Chains A and B, each alone.
Chain A
Amino acid sequence: MDLKTPVLELIRKASSDLPPDVEQSLKLAQAGEEKNTPAWNVFSTILENVQMARKQSTPICQDTGSLVFYIDYPEGGLEREYKKAVSAAVVEATNLQYLRPNAVDPVTAKNSGNNLGVNAPYFHFNQWDKKDIRIRLMLKGGGSENVSTQYKLPHSSLGAGRDLIGVRKLVIDAVRNAQGLGCAPGVIGVGIGGTRDISYTLAKEQLFRKIGQRSESGELAQLEIKLYEDLNKLGIGPMGFGGKTTALEVFIGSQHRHPATFYVSISYMCWAFRRKTLHIINGEVSYDD
Chain B
Amino acid sequence: MIKLKTPISEEEIRKLRVGDTVLLSGTVVTARDQAHKLMIEEKPDFVRDDLRESVIYHCGPVVRKDDKGEWHFVSAGPTTSAREEPYQAEVIKEYQVRGVIGKGGMGARTAEGLKNYGAVYFHAVGGAGTLIANAVKKVKTVYKLDEFGTPEAFWVIQVEDFPLVVTMDAHGGSLHKEIMEKSSKIADELIHQI
Contact residues of A with B, CB < 8 Å?
38, 41-42, 45-46, 48-49, 52-53, 56, 58-64, 97, 99-102, 104, 109-111, 113, 141-143, 146, 158-160, 165, 168-169, 172-173, 175-176, 179-181, 183, 230, 233-237, 239-242, 246, 270-272
Q: Which residues of B contact A64 (CB under 8 A)?
A: 62, 75
Apart from the given pairs A58-B129, A58-B133, A60-B75, 13 other A-B contacts in the complex at a CB distance below 8 Å:
A49-B130, A52-B130, A111-B149, A141-B127, A142-B79, A143-B80, A169-B191, A179-B180, A181-B82, A234-B187, A235-B179, A239-B125, A240-B179
Q: Which residues of A contact B104 (CB under 8 A)?
A: 143, 179-181, 240
A165-B167 Cα distance, complex, nearest whole Å: 35
| B36 is an interface residue with CB less than 8 A from chain A | no
Task: Please tell me if the beta carbons of A173 and B187 are within 8 angstroms of each other in the complex.
Answer: yes
Measured as residues with beta carbon below 8 angstroms from the partner, the interface class of chain B is: 35 or more
| B68 is an interface residue with CB less than 8 A from chain A | no
A101: which of B131, B151, B178, B180 is its contact (CB, 8 Å)?
B151
Task: Please tell me if the beta carbons of A62 and B77 are within 8 angstroms of each other in the complex.
Answer: yes
Task: Please tell me if the beta carbons of B187 and A60 are within 8 angstroms of each other in the complex.
Answer: no
In the complex where A64-B62, A181-B82 touch, is A59 in contact with B179 (Cβ < 8 A)? no
Task: Please tell me if the beta carbons of A38 and B165 are within 8 angstroms of each other in the complex.
Answer: yes
Task: Please tell me if the beta carbons of B75 and A59 are within 8 angstroms of each other in the complex.
Answer: yes
In the complex where A97-B62, A230-B190 touch, is A53 in contact with B130 (Cβ < 8 A)? yes
Task: Please tell me if the beta carbons of B127 and A101 are within 8 angstroms of each other in the complex.
Answer: no
Q: Which residues of B contact A175 (CB under 8 A)?
A: 187
Q: Which residues of A contact B80 (CB under 8 A)?
A: 142-143, 146, 181
Task: Please tell me if the beta carbons of B187 and A100 are within 8 angstroms of each other in the complex.
Answer: no
Q: Which residues of B contact A237 (CB under 8 A)?
A: 179
A45-B126 Cα distance, complex, nearest whole Å: 10
Task: Please tell me if the beta carbons of A97 and B183 are within 8 angstroms of each other in the complex.
Answer: no
A131-B60 Cα distance, complex, nearest whole Å: 41
Q: Which residues of B contact A99 (CB under 8 A)?
A: 62
Most buried by B among A41, A158, A241: A241
Q: Which residues of B contact A172 (CB under 8 A)?
A: 187, 190-191
User: Which residue of B is nearest A226, CB measured?
Assistant: B194
Task: Please tell me if the beta carbons of A241 and B126 are within 8 angstroms of each other in the complex.
Answer: no
Chain B 124-140 per-residue mask, 1 if CB under 8 angstroms from chain A, else 0: 01111111111000000
Task: Please tell me if the beta carbons of A111 and B131 are within 8 angstroms of each other in the complex.
Answer: no
Contact residues of B with A, CB < 8 Å?
19, 21, 34, 59-64, 74-77, 79-80, 82, 103-105, 123, 125-134, 148-152, 163, 165, 167, 175-176, 178-180, 182-184, 186-187, 190-192, 194
A100-B62 Cα distance, complex, nearest whole Å: 5
Q: Which residues of A contact B187 (CB under 8 A)?
A: 172-173, 175-176, 234
In the complex where A61-B129, A180-B104, A241-B123 touch, is A41 in contact with B21 (Cβ < 8 A)? yes
A113-B149 Cα distance, complex, nearest whole Å: 7
Q: Which residues of A contact B194 (CB under 8 A)?
A: 165, 168-169, 230
Task: Please tell me if the beta carbons of B184 and A176 are within 8 angstroms of each other in the complex.
Answer: yes
Distance in angstroms from A35 CB to nearest chain B CB is 14
Task: Please tell me if the beta carbons of B34 and A109 are within 8 angstroms of each other in the complex.
Answer: yes
Distance in angstroms from B155 CB to nearest chain A CB is 11
Task: Please tell me if the beta carbons of A101 and B129 are within 8 angstroms of each other in the complex.
Answer: no
Q: Which residues of B contact A239 (CB under 8 A)?
A: 103, 123, 125-126
Distance in angstroms from B150 CB to nearest chain A CB is 6
Q: Which residues of B contact A180 (CB under 8 A)?
A: 103-105, 126, 176, 179
Task: Please tell me if the beta carbons of A59 and B149 are within 8 angstroms of each other in the complex.
Answer: no
A143-B77 Cα distance, complex, nearest whole Å: 12
A107-B64 Cα distance, complex, nearest whole Å: 28
B130: which of A59, A160, A183 is its contact (CB, 8 Å)?
A59
Distance in angstroms from A282 CB to nearest chain B CB is 36
User: Which residue of A is nearest B82, CB measured?
Assistant: A181
A59: which of B21, B62, B152, B183 is its contact (CB, 8 Å)?
B62
A267-B64 Cα distance, complex, nearest whole Å: 32
A230-B184 Cα distance, complex, nearest whole Å: 13
